[in-house]
Amino acid sequence: MNKQGSVLTAEQFSGAPIERAHLHRGFTSKKTPLKWIRFFRACVLQREHANNKKKKEIKKIWIGAVSLIVLGFIINYFYYFPVVILIIASIGGGILLTVNVNSKFRKKYTDGFDFFSDYFSAFFTLIEEDLQPQSRISLEANVKNTMQSTNLVKQEKHEANTSGFISGSNYYYEKEISKGSCFLSDGCMLSFNFTERLRNRIITKRGSVSGKRKTKRKYKSVYPFVLKMKIPKTKYILKKEVDKSNIQLAEDTNFYIVKTTRKFDIKNEHPEKYQPYSSSSIEMFSSDYFALELINLINVSYSCVTPRV
């Protein structure tokens, strides 16, 4: 968005060092919902802008390589010229330069902000009206790849009786995608934690026809979203009958503490959409559905209490 709140311009997002600095790692900050939405969008646009520049740079590299080869053939038509050596050098140089350009891009940018731009923007938009005036949302996010040694929880052997099976292993990863908190207009404190749990199954088997060894990877991921609300006793009274089947309820001197969880599991909820060869499944749920499910957690928490008269 610009200063009038309409559209982000290239000047605003392409040179913002604070966004660029942590695009590849994550971030911790406090912002109003509108500023978070602008921030997520700016990060996405920065990556798109840099990706377009990268594509143009790679295109120039290969145009230059092809031009050198064509020039070599033209020279060779009139004079002896080692065209084969030129072709090898041009293609080799083009490959090396392309790898270098792609490597620099991967070190500076990640696509993790696309998720936040779509899903958390939808969530923050829905809760914006329920926040205190100018209230800021504290948010910490991790956009690193889930399948890293630091996120590995355990490893175990996998056994199967299928034809051609040789060996298998299961790797279980867990990553905290984000956590945050904010104050609602009635004084309630809302905090949340969003986690990815991923199983990477690696199977080695022998092909039934070719007899060659093949390795396949299959994934299953679930995404627990835990929401905790601290509801002030000065404004609310706990109901006498509370359904505790889907919540955890506690209290201290000043607050009722309600903890609810929504586990997004595409294989159980929509098996027809499950893709075993895709490591991420959260985007099988629409951003609007995701946001509404989180709002439902807030409503469930409020259903445990009644306002004081």
Across the range 223-248, mean pLDDT stands at 93
| Pair 209, 255 in one domain | yes
Angle of helix 33-78 versus helix 83-108 axis, rounded to 10: 170
| Pair 230, 161 in one domain | yes
Task: Return the minimum-mean-pLDDT range out of 93-102, 156-165, 216-225, 295-304.
Answer: 156-165
CB atoms within 10 A of CB 116: 24
As separate numbers, helices (DSSP H) first and strands (DSSP E) second, the chain gives: 8, 10
The count of structural domains within the chain is 2
Please compute, for residue 56, the number of CA atoms within 13 A of its CA located in the half-sphere on the CB side.
6
Whether the CB-CB separation of 305 and 184 falls below 8 Å is answered with: no
Choosing from 48, 80, 111, the residue where a domain stops is 111
| Pair 240, 265 in one domain | yes
pLDDT cut 90: percent of the chain above it: 51
Place of tokens 């209490």: 305
Task: Return the minimum-mean-pLDDT range out of 99-113, 132-146, 188-202.
Answer: 99-113
| Pair 92, 222 in one domain | no
| Pair 151, 300 in one domain | yes
Q: For residue 17, is it left (φ>0), alpha (ψ between -120 and 50) or beta?
A: alpha
Please compute, for residue 51, the number of CA atoms within 13 A of its CA located in the half-sphere on the CB side.
10
Its domain, for residue 47, covers: 1-111
Residue-averaged pLDDT of the chain: 86
| Pair 137, 99 in one domain | no
| Pair 247, 133 in one domain | yes
| Pair 106, 140 in one domain | no
Question: Which one-letter DSSP state was computed for residue 119?
Answer: I
| Pair 94, 237 in one domain | no
Choosing from 77, 111, 145, the residue where a domain stops is 111
Higher pLDDT, 17 or 111: 111
| Pair 37, 118 in one domain | no
- pLDDT for 3 beyond 60: no
| Pair 55, 154 in one domain | no
Residue 23 pLDDT level (bands cut at 50, 70, 90): low
Q: How much is the pLDDT for 7?
A: 47
Task: Return the minimum-mean-pLDDT range out of 78-87, 120-129, 143-152, 224-233.
Answer: 78-87
- Highest mean pLDDT of the ranges 95-109, 113-127, 261-275: 261-275
| Pair 157, 246 in one domain | yes
Instruction: Read off the pTM.
Output: 0.79
Q: What is the per-residue pLDDT across 183-206, written as a single tens digit (0 to 9) for each?
A: 999 999 999 999 999 999 999 988
Q: What is the per-residue pLDDT across 248-291, written as a single tens digit (0 to 9) for each?
A: 999 999 999 999 999 999 999 999 989 999 888 888 899 999 99
- pLDDT for 163 beyond 90: no
Across the range 78-82, mean pLDDT stands at 80
CB atoms within 10 A of CB 256: 21
CA distance 154 to 169: 11
Distances, alpha carbon 172 to alpha carbons 32, 147, 151, 175, 210, in Å: 35, 9, 8, 10, 31
Choosing from 96, 111, 126, the residue where a domain stops is 111
To 10 degrees, the CA torsion angle through 149, 150, 151, 155?
Answer: 40
Across the range 288-298, mean pLDDT stands at 94
